[in-house]
Structures are given as C-alpha cells and as structure tokens.
Amino acid sequence: MSGENGIGVRRRRVDGEAKVRGATRYAADIPVAGLLHARPVLSHEAHARILDFETAAAREVPGVVAVLTAADLPMAPGVPGRLGEPLAREEVVFAGQPVALVVAETEAAAADGAAAVLADYEPLPVALDLEAAMEPGAPLARPGETVDHDEDDGRYSANVVGRRRVGTGDAAAALASSDVVVSGSFRSSPMYQAYIEPQTATAWLEPGGELVVSTSTQGAFATREGVATALGLPHDRVRIRPAPLGGAFGGKVVIVEPLVAAAAVALERPVRLVMTRMEDFVATNPAPGQLTELEVGATRDGRLTALRGRVILDRGAHKEYNVDMLAAMLAGGPYRWEARDLEALGVLTNRTSTGAYRAPTGPPVSFALETLLDELAGRLGLDPIELRLRNVLHEGDTGPDGKPCPVIGAEQCLQRLREHPLWARRDDLPDDEGIGVAIAFWPGGLEPAAASCRLDSDGGVTVITGAVDMSGTETGFRTIAAAAFGVPEERVRVEAADTSGAGFSGLSGGSKIIYTVGRAVEQAALQAREQLLDIAAAELEIAPEDLEIAGGAVQPAGVPAQAIEIDDLARRVLTFGSTYAPVEGHGRIAQASRAPSAAAHLSRVRVDRETGGVTVLAHVVVQDVGRALNPSLVEGQMTGGVAQGLGWALHEGLAHDEEGQLQTGSMVDYTIPSFDLVPAIEADIVEVPAPDGPFGAKGVGEAPVVAVPPAVAAAIAAATGIRLRELPMSPERVWTALTDGAAG
C-alpha cells in the first residue's frame, strides 16, 4: 500500500530523536526569567464548609511571596464550574480540591508554605456511592447546583444533574418478542489518564498587558477560550503557547491554566505550577466511573432486535463534563438495532471532577454490550464472530446517532480476525487458558480547522497549524504535505504556532486531528503547489498543467533539462521587486461527515485459579484505519491503545474510602500496565479509505482501547466459565467470582 508519494511509508516521528535524547523541553523545562513557583493547598475534606484559613505561618516562610485564596484571584464573575473557581470559595466538594495557592521564589519554599497553611472546615454529608446518591432524599454533593433537565418524577435526587433518553422503535415490544434476552449490570471505576508528565502551566503578563500561558495542553485555542472566559479577558489578550505534550490522553484540557494565569495576573510576576503526582491524581479530571445496565434481545438465528437500559456516569463534583449521551450512543456498538431505549444519567458526587480519557465512556459500555453479546452467542450456539458479522454496521445502515452510517470497515476487521490462526485454535488450549473476541466502534470527532503551507526562500516548505502534536500528528502532517505538494518529506517542516499567529485548530483528541487538521494541511499544500506551478509556468512560458514537480524541481512533464529547482524559484519570488505573490496555501476545513472506525480484538489469557490472577498471553487488534499514512505510527497507536485497554480490563481504577479520600493516589497504589504485564501485541491494519480523509486517512487513536476489556472478559469466560461484571477484573474479583461460581 506504499506509494511513490510517500503515503504508507514507515517513518520515524520527527519529534522522536529529541525525545529519546532528552532534548525536548516540556512545559516545566521552559526557562522563564523571574519565575515564581506555586504549590496548591488541597482540601482534605470531601465535602465541607470552609470556615477559615490560617495563612500567617505560610507567609513567614522565607521565599514565600503570596498565599492566595479564592478572594485574591481576579476571576470573572458568574463563570460556572471549575473554570470559574480554580480555588474553592465557601465550600469544598471533593478531597483534593485546591483551596489556596502558595507562590514562592523556589519550589521548596512553595512546598513549605503550602504545608504551613491551615484550613478550618465544617464537614458536610458526603455523596459517594453512585446509586445511593441518585436516591431521592440522598445528601447532595453540591447543594445549590441546578440540574440540567426538567424531569420531576421523583425518581432521582438532585444529584442527578443530567437525564436524557435516547432511542428508536419500541424497545419493550421488541424485547418481549425476542427469542433470547440477555442482561446485566456492569461497573467501572473512575480512571486516571496516567500521562507521564503531570499538569503544568506557566503564565505571565507582557508589559502591554497581554497574558501569555505556556502549558502542556491538548488545545491551544480551547485553552485560550478557557482562560479568557475565566478571567473575563478578550480572547486576543491571551496567548497560549502549547509545549510538547508528555502524554495527555484526554486529560489535559484547561485544568491548571486558569489558576496559574489568575495568580500571574494577581501578582504581576511569572508563575509556574508543576503538579506533583499526588496532586495530579486527586485534583485533575479522571474519567467518570460508570454503571451500565443493559438488556439485549435477539432472534433465534442471531439477529439483534432490541437494546434497553441505563448508562449512569459519575461526574464527580462538577457537572460540566457531560458525556452521558455519548455513552448511551456508544452502548449500541457497531450494530444495527430494530429498537433502542437508553436512559443517560449524569450524577454529582464528592469525587474529583471528571474529564476525557481516550475514547470517553467507550471501554465501560463496550465491556457491557460485548460481554452480553458473547453470552448471547453462547446461548444461541453461534460463533461469536459470526453473531457480530450478522449484525455489524455497513455504510448506509442507521448508525448510533440515527443517521446513515458512513463508510466503515467493521465487517472487514471481523473477517480478518476470523482468519487469524489463534481463532482456529480457540478450543485447543490448555484448561486454564481461553480466547475471547470483541469489536468496538468509535464515531470519530469533527471540528473546524485551518492550516497554512508556505514556501520559504531557501525552497523549504513550512506547514503551520495551531494543532498540538499528539501521538505523532505533526509527522502525519508532514507526510500529507509532502505528498500533496510533491516534495520529499525532508523538505517539509511542521510548525505549531501559538494562538496569536496560527490558524484555528480544535483540541487534539477525538480521533480527528489527521481527519480535520490533516485535511486542511492537504488543501493548503495543494494550493501552494498550484501557486508554485503558476510561477514556474510564467518563468518557463508554458501552461501550468504541462508542468510536474520531480526531484525537488519543477519541469515540463518529462523534460528535466528545463527543470527549475524549487529553491531557485523560491528566491525569484521572495525578493525585493518580485512580481510574484508569496507561495502560501491556506486550507480551511469543516468536515461534514464523520469517519467512524472499528477495531476487533482477540485476547488469549491464562487464569490462575489459586490467585485469580489473569495473564494476557497474546492480544491481536485488527483496526480499520482508513489509510495508514505511516504504518509505524498507526501501529504505535493501536499497540498503545491495547496496553491502556489492558489497564482498564485488569489493573486500573481509582478507589475512594467511605469518606471520599482517594486510596490510590500514587503509582504504587494505582497500577498501570508495566512492561511485564503487556504481552506482544499484534497490530493488524485494515484499510478502508475514508472518503473525506487526507489520502483516505482518518483518526486512529481511540478505537483500539475500547473493546479490550470485553475481549479479555470473554477470554476469561472461555477459560473459566465465569462472567465478570466489574472493571478492573482484578485477581480479587476474579478469585471471588471463581469461588462464588464454584460455590454456586
């Protein structure tokens, strides 16, 4: 699938060498003159009224410049959520919530100062258990918060801030007339994004009053909007300089910037906050804990009929992160349904506020649905892949959003997986081993984007976007621009300008960077190419359509003797007195159609019946990626997604005690899959070109994480006959289930 234009060629990431060499400057490494360091003071109560602060001792610590509380911050009035309240005002609503910020000349002084701040609280009732919090009359996690729905049937408490129904057809009737119905209730914990680099931001005021924020963020423009809104500034008075990301996975979207910016404005000095790992665990934005209750109906011959149930999301202490409907939509998977009826509920609790994590809400709902389908296949005596093939979405079918499904390679992934030699061997395994499969759907995101492509005066090509590089997207832009312009990749440099100079780009995330910004890059490069050909045509006195770009030169097609080197042309353009306009293409994109993707998984596990320990022996992921611009990077995404999916499946989960204290606030207590826990992962690329993607490419980052938990669960079931209903499937839970199963 690799072509002369460089599409499909394996290449290293342009940022790889600097990262490996340790030369990359992350947000905490960027030198800033006159810098102050900040350390937050965190609430130790999960829910309490703030009575008083004792800050005198902190102020006396040598080097401490200021102890800021909410009243000291220049926040715009009336901005809802954590954006408007980076330090708690009268009430703390989760343990770990920042209540003060100590700013000092050194990091050590800031830490000493923070340790010396005393806060006096009056404890309030704590809402932690998701179902208990939903009960009418339950203590409210955030008294006074409004709900975002107008249902008033008395079923739920006011902690249920989000309540929507999504569906089509008569699900009750369809279930009633189904030949088989399977059902279950599935749980998962809040999940930490576990990026290597903690949340970090630095802010300062330029003398003209411009506020500059240098930060580890997924979205420069989103952060600008957030900071400007929080501080009540026009957007053009805020400049965001995104630093290279040391991991993000959805978790770095306007978390610490409003606080740091407010401190810099208040103190008129540069202020930096680099969160400690513990602060990052308790005070940022993990993925919501989820409870998914589903009933699935089917006909005897394996046609899915109806899906009914509830998807409940724990939003933690702020209601702003609302992905209830996305969860309900994804709960239907990549399948055709006669009828669907799902209630989506968002519930406030006294936990850390929530945010996005790679394929938000995907793994828990996929765990629920795919586990039920695996049971269903067993009940029907059908090959689980065959069951899925009979129901999988094709282009034009009604998709999860009720609209016709765009081109999707779900069937191709299942077919490919069925041919895998391990699948044939699934019944020929040692007793303690099992193989399971599952498939995921990811809808892909859309957001407008712009990009520029400039020919420099030495013949180099510079691509300029406002997008933050995530997982090698700039390397992808380079491939796209080189192919579209017709020059070798070595000639192309990709620049992420800050918000003052770049064209608009949305958040890096949502499997949409390559699909949207990449498309704008393609447009910009094509436009620049056309401009250059017009200039060469004028110089050579020949029609532009008779020209070609080859070997770094423009020439009449097939006549290298008349070639003009691109650098020579560039010099003729960008010079005093030139009559040629600069060669600068500009792409602006609003993708009208999504490019959903599918990833099918096969997992082979061994279960230790003595300990409940599950070892993944092999894992295969087959993903429809549209077109692999650079297979090395695509495989990296698929492999990384599976590794994180194994974390969901077996290891990870934030746990709180009954007072709301996080019990897993360190990398010792919160187990992400380490090298020894991840098997060799086989990444198999399926290419079903996305019609509107650049060279057929689409986003590939999220699909591979989604269906890992159900594939592992199906493998555990194949090995043991035990169906697990809660993530992670820790040794304790597996052992308990095995013990209960043996007992029952």
Chain positions contacting a second copy, by CB under 8 A? 18, 23-25, 29, 31-35, 206-209, 221, 225, 228, 234-236, 445-450, 452, 454, 456-458, 460, 462, 464, 493, 495, 497-498, 500-504, 506-507, 510, 531, 573-582, 584, 586, 588-592
The phi and psi torsions of 728 (rounded to 5 degrees) equal -70, 155
Please report the DSSP string for 13-73 in residue order.
-TTHHHHHHT----GGGS--TT-EEEEEEE-S-SSEEEEEEE-HHHHTSTTEEEEEEGGGS
Sheet strands side by side (includes 98-104): 64-69, 98-104, 36-42, 271-274, 200-205, 211-215, 238-242
Sign of CA dihedral 133, 137, 139, 142: positive
Separation CA 261–CA 279 (nearest Å): 18
Contacts of 305 (CB under 8 A, 6+ apart): 174, 175, 177, 178, 297, 298, 299, 337, 338, 339
Work out how close the CB of 538 gets to a second copy at its nearest, in angstroms, rounded to a whole number. 11
What phi and psi, each to the nearest 5 degrees, are found at residue 648? -55, -45
Q: 139 and 126 in contact (C-beta within 8 Å)?
A: yes
Complex with a second copy: residue 206 or 657, whichever CB lies closer: 206
Per the rule left: phi > 0, alpha: psi between -120 and 50, beta: everything else, 634 is alpha
| Edge-to-edge strand list for the sheet holding 584-589 | 492-496, 461-465, 449-455, 584-589
CA distance linking residue 189 with residue 181, whole number of Å: 27
Nearer to a second copy, 93 or 253 (CB): 253
> CB neighbours of 619 closer than 8 A, spacing ≥ 6?
601, 602, 603, 604, 642, 646, 679, 681, 682, 708, 711
Shorter beta-carbon distance to a second copy: residue 258 or 645: 258
**Cβ at position 257, least distance to a second copy in Å:** 16
> CB 208 → a second copy: shortest distance, Å?
5
Q: CB 69 → a second copy: shortest distance, Å?
A: 29
22 vs 77, beta carbon nearer a second copy: 22
Which CB atom, from 93 or from 274, has the smaller least distance to a second copy?
Answer: 274
Amino acid at 557: A
User: Least distance from C-beta 390 to a second copy, angstroms?
Assistant: 32
Give me the least distance between CB of 62 and a second copy, in Å please: 22
The residue among 108 and 205 lying less far from a second copy, judged by its C-beta, is 205
Q: CB of 447 within 8 A of CB of 507?
A: yes
CB of 519 to a second copy, least distance (A): 10
At 122 the three-state DSSP class reads strand
Cis before 364? omega within 30: no
Bridge partners, 200 (sequence order): 274
Identify the helix (H) or strand (E) that includes residue 585. strand 584-589
CA-CA distances (angstroms) from residue 269 to 38, 103, 285, 321?
A: 12, 10, 28, 32
Kindly state the smallest distance separating residue 366's Cβ from a second copy, in Å. Answer: 22
CB of 322 to a second copy, least distance (A): 12
Give kind and range of the element (H or E) at residue 336: none
Rounded-to-integer distance, Cα 188 and Cα 208, Å? 49
C-alpha 163/C-alpha 687 separation (Å) is 38
SS3 string, 348-386, reads ECCCCCCCCCCCCCHHHHHHHHHHHHHHHHHHHCCCHHH
Q: Which of residues 464 and 525 has its CB atom nearest to a second copy in the complex? A: 464
Q: Is 702 designated active site?
A: yes
CB of 329 to a second copy, least distance (A): 13
Check if the beta carbon of residue 564 is closer than 8 Å to that of residue 537: no
Out of 145, 702, 726, 732, pick the active-site residue: 702
d(CA 252, CA 230): 17
Q: Which of 498, 393, 481 is nearest to 442 (CA)?
A: 393
| Closer residue to a second copy in complex, CB, 409/443 | 443
Shortest distance, CB of residue 584 to a second copy, whole angstroms?
5
Identify which of residues 517 and 662 has a Cβ nearer to a second copy in the complex: 517
Provide the sign of the torsion angle of the four alpha carbons 482, 485, 488, 494, taken in this order: negative
Measured from the CB atom, the residue of 500 and 736 that comes closer to a second copy is 500
Nearer to a second copy, 47 or 478 (CB): 478
472, amino acid identity: G
What does 632-659 look like in DSSP terms, one character per residue?
HHHHHHHHHHHHHHHIIIII----B-TT
- Closer by beta carbon to a second copy, 117 or else 240: 240
Q: Are 6 and 243 in contact (CB under 8 A)?
A: no
Q: Provide the minimum distance between the beta carbon of 703 and a second copy in the complex, in angstroms, as a whole number.
A: 18
Just list the catalytic residues: 702
